[in-house]
Amino acid sequence: MFIVYALIDPRDTTCRYVGMTNDLTERFIAHISNREANHQKNSWILELRGSGMLPICRTLQVCDTEREAREAERDWIAGFLEIDHPLYNSERTGKR
């Protein structure tokens, strides 16, 4: 089972990141611990933490296969970008 999820800004409820994982708890911990190279996302999370907040983590879709989850992740990213959510995904710029 794979989960497509969103990290949401609690101040304005905009989606800032869409991802997929098979362990949502561990993935969320990795995000809030800034264990990644995504500088914009890390800066946003550090800003939230400095204000005593964390991103809201919401499940968007549950998929049976990794392939299905990757396709769903791309679709969710495209959908959020279409409605002008300020995503920090590297996929936003076409980088992987």
Distances (CA, A) of 66 to 19, 20, 23, 60: 12, 9, 12, 15
Q: Which domain holds residue 51?
A: 2-93
Record the pTM: 0.88
CATH code, 15: 3.40.1440
pLDDT along the chain (96 residues), means of 10: 97 96 95 81 92 97 97 96 90 44
Contact predicate 88/17, CB 8 Å = yes
Number of domains in the chain: 1
**What pLDDT is attached to residue 34?**
75
Q: Which long-range contacts (CB under 8 A, 24 or more apart) does 67-71 make?
A: 68/2, 69/2, 69/3, 69/4, 69/20, 70/20
Which residue has 């989960």 as its token pair?
Answer: 3
The whole-number pLDDT of residue 25 equals 95
